[in-house]
Amino acid sequence: MAVLSGRPLLSNRGIPLNLGWVQQVRVNTSAVEHRAQTHVARRTVKKEWQAAWLLRAITCMDLTTLSGDDTDERVRRLCAKARRPIEHELVKQLEIEELEIKVAAVCVYHRFVETAVRALEGSGIHVAAVSAGFPAGLSPLEERIGEIRRSVEAGADEIDIVITRALVFGGRWQELYDEVAEFRRACGRVHMKAILGTGDLLTLRNVARASFVAMMAGADFIKTSTGKEPTNATLPVGFVMTRAIREYAQETGMAVGFKPAGGIRTAKQSTEWLALMKEELGTPWMKADLFRFGASGLLNDIERQLEHYATGRYSADYRHPIA
The set of catalytic residues is 160, 223, 259
Cα(268)–Cα(194) distance, integer angstroms: 26
Helix (H, G, I), strand (E, B) or coil at 272: helix
> For strand 7-8 and strand 3-4, is the pairing parallel, antiparallel, or unpaired?
antiparallel
- Of 116, 62, 89, give the one whose Cα is nearest residue 320: 89
Half-sphere exposure of 296 (CA within 13 A, CB side): 15
Mention every residue, 6+ apart, whose C-beta is less than 8 A from residue 319: none
- CA 214 to CA 199: how far, in whole Å? 17
Q: Other C-beta atoms within 10 Å of 252: how many?
A: 18
Residue 112's alpha-carbon distances to 12, 57, 107, 139, 195, in angstroms, are 28, 25, 9, 20, 20
244: Cβ–Cβ under 8 A, 6 or more apart, which residues? 208, 211, 212, 215, 222
Neighbouring residues of 69: CB distance < 8 A, sequence distance ≥ 6:
none
Rounded to the nearest 10 degrees, the angle between the axes of helix 235-252 and helix 204-216 is: 40
Question: Cα(83)–Cα(76) distance, rounded to whole angstroms?
Answer: 11
